A and B are shown apart, each in its own frame.
Chain A
């Protein structure tokens, strides 16, 4: 006993490493893409255009549809033969991947699906962050002749950095706990290509009733996420700018 559960996981369990690899691949792809997409949408929706409340609501809506209904919708979108995604790809002359049946395409499919949440909470947080930037900064920059890109680079990005940091930290934590959609849509398949880490904890605990192994898995997850978060806080000193910080 003692550390036996941990030793076995590290040395004898290929599924442990598989789950870790799947989750890492998903995190590396979905977190940066998701943050970039959310920021782009927030900036799009921060304009003074007629009907902006309607546009904001339309982008936010996927986050309001319960996950059961959402999973049904996405199975329909990813259907290899008559799903809407492959109809579009087919019409554009591109291939028709077997999204949820081909191990190669499973993680990309989940990443695409995760982008449908880019108009949700993360976008709202960016939108709130954009509000907090004094408009006098942009006015001063315009007087100095700064173009749109350099305003974005030198005002928007640094002023948003506390919020971006928040979204990054929470994005990583969330991606390591990704569970519901993988459970509902593919249940880890095909050939364990979507065996997310949280799904493997769930299986060991509630399907195989190996509570010791499941607890060991949970503690390893906790240690990994804590280490990444601490590293992010360390690195944040170099790129996150707080106007009200005591120096």
Chain B
């Protein structure tokens, strides 16, 4: 069952890999076959040299790392507030935060753009990175759900030991939520690495372009060249896949439960 499912789910990627190994004549051939008749590696160097990919990778990495660090820190702190403290207007604030997810991005795009334009931040990385200092409703809601699952008696025990609220967050809540935090890192990294709309709207100088914009340029300029597009797509996917393989190590059952032993 595991193998059958895995096979079905990896079809799109296998198709991408196979297409990247085909010559253009073969891709155009109908009906399309999955496996390449003759394997060629020429799409990879051709795609790599067609656009300044090294430049794009550096830009993307910069934006992505800023976003990931800022998001995890802010989201974890705000989620702690929502999960553990009672204060006036907490529920209203929480729903206000959730409401930010309820309009499609196509609707909010134009007002948000005008806002950034007024502070002269167009063609900088500010519109792409600064919002992550607010954590994002998705991540805050997700972490809140995990934090609320941690028994309160543990907080109280630490309070009795003379630990402050910040200490409880750092030494109890965060370590016990490692898989959830890793999930937020993974989603933020991938979301930022893959972000297409943001760079498309805010960046105009080609030197500042990110990888996803590069891929799209590729799609426009080389629309007949599916093999090279798929090769470039693979280059785009590899860092995300690498991060996933590292991140999934933290999803080992029972690895993070030392704090709950004997309960």
Q: Mark A30-61, 1 if CB is under 8 A from B, else 0.
A: 00000000000100111011000101111111
Closest residue of chain B to A40 (Cβ to Cβ) is: B5
Interface stretch, picked from A1-9, A103-111, A141-149, A237-245, is: A237-245
Interface of A with B (CB < 8 Å)? Answer: 41, 44-46, 48-49, 53, 55-66, 68-70, 73, 76-77, 82, 84, 116, 119, 121, 124-125, 127-132, 134-136, 159, 162-163, 165-166, 169-170, 173, 177, 179, 198, 201-202, 205, 214-215, 218, 221-222, 225-226, 229-230, 242-246
CB within 8 Å for A230 and B95 given contacts A125-B142, A135-B253: yes
Q: Is A44 in contact with B2, judged by CB distance below 8 angstroms?
A: yes
Choose one: B31, B105, B179; the contact of A127 (CB below 8 Å): B179
Give chain A residues whose Cβ lies under 8 Å from the Cβ of B1: 44
- Can you report 22 A-B residue pairs in the complex whose CB atoms are below 8 A from each other? A48-B253, A59-B5, A60-B244, A64-B240, A65-B13, A66-B215, A69-B12, A73-B11, A76-B15, A82-B31, A127-B251, A128-B179, A131-B252, A134-B263, A136-B260, A169-B98, A201-B104, A201-B107, A221-B103, A226-B99, A243-B151, A244-B148
Task: Report whether A242 and B253 are in contact in the complex, using a CB–CB cutoff of 8 Å.
Answer: no
CB nearest neighbor in A for B173: A244
Q: Is the Cβ of A221 less than 8 Å from the Cβ of B6?
A: no
Q: Give the bracket for the number of chain B residues in contact with chain A.
A: 35 or more
B241 with A64: CB separation less than 8 A: yes
Render B145-159 as a binary contact track against A, CB cut-off 8 A, 1 for contact.
111111110010000
Q: Once the chains bind, are A57 and B241 in contact (CB under 8 Å)?
A: yes
- B79 to A: closest C-beta gap in Å: 12
Contacts of A132 in B (CB 8 A): 146, 149, 176-177, 179-180, 256
Residues of A within 8 A of B83 (CB): 244
Q: Are A131 and B12 in contact (CB under 8 A)?
A: no
Given contacts A55-B6, A62-B12, A69-B230, contact A173 B101 (CB under 8 A): yes
Contact B10 A66 (CB under 8 A): no
- Cβ contact of B152, chosen from A84, A131, A244, cutoff 8 A: A244
- Closest chain-A Cβ to B230's Cβ sits at a distance in Å of 7
Q: How far is the CA of A73 from the CA of B229 in the complex (A)?
A: 13
Best-surrounded residue of B16, B255, B263 (most CB of chain A within 10 A): B16
Interchain CB contact under 8 A, A242 and B102: no
Partner of A55, one of B2, B186, B237: B2
Which one of A41, A68, A169, A242 contacts B149 once the chains associate, using CB atoms below 8 Å?
Answer: A242
User: Within the complex, what minimum Cβ distance (angstroms) separates B87 from chain A?
Assistant: 13
With A65-B237, A162-B148 as given contacts, are A124 and B183 in contact (CB-CB < 8 Å)? yes
Q: Which residues of chain A come closer than 8 Å to B261, judged between CB atoms?
A: 136
* Interface SS of A by simple majority: helix
Judging by beta carbons under 8 Å apart, are A61 and B10 in contact? Answer: yes
Contact A53–B106 (Cβ < 8 Å): no
**Measured between C-beta atoms, what is the minimum distance from B82 to chain A in Å?**
12
Whether B219 and A68, one on each chain, are in contact in the complex, defined by CB atoms closer than 8 angstroms, is: yes
Please judge, given known A-B contacts A131-B256, A135-B257, A201-B104, whether A73 and B12 are in contact too, CB under 8 Å: yes
Nearest-neighbor residue (CB-CB) of B6 within chain A? A58
Q: How many A-B residue pairs have CB under 8 A?
A: 188
Q: How far is the CA of A127 from the CA of B247 in the complex (A)?
A: 12
Chain A residue numbers with a CB within 8 Å of B176 are: 132
Contact assessment for A66 and B245 in the assembled complex, using a CB-CB cutoff below 8 Å? no
Additional A-B contact list (17), CB under 8 Å, known A57-B241, A69-B229, A128-B182: A45-B2, A46-B253, A53-B248, A58-B6, A58-B9, A62-B10, A64-B241, A65-B237, A68-B219, A69-B12, A73-B12, A125-B142, A134-B260, A162-B148, A166-B141, A170-B101, A229-B102
B105, closest chain A residue (CB): A177
Q: Which residues of B contact A (CB under 8 A)?
A: 1-2, 5-7, 9-13, 15-16, 31-32, 83-84, 86, 95, 98-99, 101-107, 138, 141-142, 145-152, 155, 176-177, 179-180, 182-183, 186-187, 190, 194, 196, 212, 215-216, 219, 229-230, 233, 236-237, 240-241, 244-245, 248-249, 251-257, 260-263
Across the A-B interface, the 5 shortest Cβ-Cβ residue pairs:
A128-B179, A58-B6, A162-B145, A242-B148, A131-B179
Give complex CA distance A126, B98 in Å. 20
CB neighbours (8 Å) of A135 from chain B are 253-254, 257
Query: Are B9 and A61 within 8 A (Cβ)?
Result: yes
- Inter-subunit contact A53/B179 (CB<8 Å): no
Select B106's contact among A41, A57, A179, beta carbons within 8 Å: A179
CB distance from B108 to the nearest CB of A (A): 9
Nearest residue (CB) in A for B153 is A244
Which of these, B9, B252, B254, B257, contacts A62 with CB under 8 Å?
Answer: B9
Given that A61-B241, A124-B183 are known contacts, is A221 also in contact with B104, CB under 8 Å in the complex? yes
